[in-house]
Amino acid sequence: MITRKQLIEEYLGFFKEKEHAIIPPSPLIPEHDPTVLFTTAGMHPLVPFLLGQPHPEGKRLADVQICLRTDDMNEVGDAYHHTFFEMLGNWSLGDYWKKEAISWSFEFLTKRLRIPVEKLAISCFGGEGKVPKDEEAAKVWMSLGIPRERIAFLGKKENWWGPAGKTGPCGPDTEMFVWIGKEKAPKEFDPKDKKWVEIWNDVFMQYNMKENGELEELKQKNVDTGMGVERVLAILNNFDDNYLTEIFAPIIKRIEELSGKKYESNKKSMRIIADHLKAATFVLAEGIPPGNKEHSYVLRRLIRRAIRHAHLLRIEKNFTKEIAKIVIRLYERDYKQLREKKNFILDEIEREENKFKNTLKTGLKYFEKISKGKKEISGKEAFLLYQSYGFPIEMTLELAREKGVEVNTKEFEKEYEKHRELSRTATKGKFKAGLADTKERTIKLHTATHLLLAALRKVLGKKIVQKGSNITSERLRFDFNFDRKLTNEEIKKIEGIVNEKISEGLQVRREEMTLEEAKKLNALGTFEHKYGEKVSVYFIGERGKEFSIEICAGPHVENTRELGHFRIIKQESVGAGIRRIKATLEEK
């Protein structure tokens, strides 16, 4: 028996022994990466460092990272798919390479987790396009005692990872599999045999995918590994179902109580409810309410799909809050945002439930009517389900699939556009867009954000601090503590100061130091719990006379002259005592 806590401690402890800095997890919503909605892998927050930006904690890192993947939301319902999960990972930023990475993976699996070598199998990249077969990785595995028959060479579909978006770091990988059958593992590894379960992935990130699809060699060769906590817990505790592990069992038990039904005969719906509401709780913990755009829309889909499946189980009373409470209890020790946002989470999840509960039943009746004896549901009907009954299009598609009916999605999109709410396509675009293509503009806006904060403090006073920040390639969004509307003069003054600092052509300098040292310099910082032992501090302006000093991971431009013209496009209130500014940079 091994618990989640023991597994995480064992993993991080092991890599600490191998001289890795243990870094704190990043938020579920990337702060400065507009190209994806959610953090989808442990490597994701590390992209700038994988591309060469120095990391303040060094070249060897390890962590456990919360991730959300919505691509295969429809797969959730089987024994091991999830939208939300925790990923253990270790990284070499241009430091160690295949031999060390593989040897440590082997040592951790066989010595620490005590998985017998006889139960291990490996896949390596078999070569495709310009990238050759990874004999180097296979040789290391064999030197450690993995027999050749237990190593399969597969193509790009199986043994290549990344980039996370359209562009960015990527490379061949080697995956580790564990035999979960009761009988002895076969001599030869057959990757198609479902009893071989993938447990870990070592990616050798030696390429950068460019926008035109070409691969270029990275100057810095990195290792990126990822191991899913849920899956490993199930394997090590001899469960063939992730939902039986301690991080799901209490949720499933509560769903059984609420529905008066047994998990055994209602697995699919119960798994969907458990997974989706866990994910929803973590998204809500970022302060995001359900809605029709981007993160809010994904959140709405998660909650509403869970409610639909609760309806199938005939759960009548409000239940989402009950599940969220268990999720908070399970994870609050490690993720304090769950504790801090507890009221918000419980209020918002129930509000969404109340909103949807009433229209769900009448919407389902309407669905029955329009689908009865039909081959296809028209786009107009699907839009009505969306507009009047609150059915996300994905829910209508799911219902239609279950009934063997088609949906005219093209027409639906048209209807949707007509109503000028293009969020769905916008969301889709985000998942597909690359990580690095809009990089330059976001870097500039990021530096502009530092100038803005310093300017705000000059104009409105030293009590102003950052309460939130989000950057897309079009604009920056900055939240700060202030309890009234800014006057036009104040806005003009702030813009003026930022533009003055831009035209002064100030140097942007980066230094590494301990958090204590940074504080002594009065460096501004926000989310203290996120900082590791060492931090990067960015200085803007002449040494000793800096205009801005902030703790920040970067990256930033080298000189403010690169920024162009700064313009505030909007100010608004976002809750008691918090104001929001949206601003952009224009060509001069």
Could you list the residues that contact ligand SER (CB under 6 A)? 41-43, 89, 161, 201, 203, 224-226
Q: Are strands 534-540 and 548-551 parallel, antiparallel or unpaired?
A: antiparallel
- Each residue of 319-354: b (16+ CB within 10 Å) or e? bbebbbbbbbebbeeebebbeebbeebbebbbebbe
Calpha distance 430→202 (Å, rounded): 26
Which among 312, 409, 288, 374 has a CA at the least distance from the CA of 38?
288
Which among 498, 585, 574 has a CA at the least distance from the CA of 288?
574
104 vs 263, which CB is nearer to ligand SER?
Answer: 104
Min dist CB 464 to ligand SER, Å, is 38
208 vs 472, which CB is nearer to ligand SER?
Answer: 208
Min dist CB 158 to ligand SER, Å, is 12
45 vs 89, which CB is nearer to ligand SER?
Answer: 89
- The 10 Å Cβ neighbour count of residue 529 is 9
225 vs 396, which CB is nearer to ligand SER?
Answer: 225
Calpha distance 228→432 (Å, rounded): 23
Sheet holding 548-551, edge to edge: 508-514, 534-540, 548-551
Q: Which residue is nearest to ligand SER (CB)?
A: 226
Min dist CB 526 to ligand SER, Å, is 27
Calpha distance 584→445 (Å, rounded): 7
38 vs 566, which CB is nearer to ligand SER?
Answer: 38
Min dist CB 203 to ligand SER, Å, is 5
Residues 6+ apart with CB under 8 A from 452: 476, 478, 494, 498, 566, 581, 583
Min dist CB 109 to ligand SER, Å, is 15
69 vs 556, which CB is nearer to ligand SER?
Answer: 69
172 vs 390, which CB is nearer to ligand SER?
Answer: 172
DSSP one-letter code for 76: B
Min dist CB 228 to ligand SER, Å, is 8
Calpha distance 180→170 (Å, rounded): 30
The two structure tokens encoding residue 456: 């705000």
Q: Are strands 84-93 and 215-228 parallel, antiparallel or unpaired?
A: antiparallel
* Cβ atoms 570, 514 nearer than 8 A: no
89 vs 554, which CB is nearer to ligand SER?
Answer: 89
203 vs 451, which CB is nearer to ligand SER?
Answer: 203
CA distances (Å), origin 473, targets 34, 336, 420, 477: 7, 30, 22, 11
Across the strands, what pairs with 254?
Answer: none
109 vs 284, which CB is nearer to ligand SER?
Answer: 109
Min dist CB 189 to ligand SER, Å, is 19
Min dist CB 205 to ligand SER, Å, is 9
Min dist CB 65 to ligand SER, Å, is 9
The rounded radius of gyration (Å) of the Cα atoms in the chain is 25
Which among 252, 249, 274 has a CA at the least distance from the CA of 263?
252
Question: What are the respective helix, strand and coil percentages of the chain, to the nearest 5?
Answer: 45, 20, 35
225 vs 245, which CB is nearer to ligand SER?
Answer: 225
Min dist CB 225 to ligand SER, Å, is 5
Min dist CB 429 to ligand SER, Å, is 22
Q: Are strands 21-22 and 60-68 parallel, antiparallel or unpaired?
A: parallel
69 vs 477, which CB is nearer to ligand SER?
Answer: 69
Min dist CB 160 to ligand SER, Å, is 11
* Cβ atoms 199, 235 nearer than 8 A: yes
Calpha distance 50→59 (Å, rounded): 10
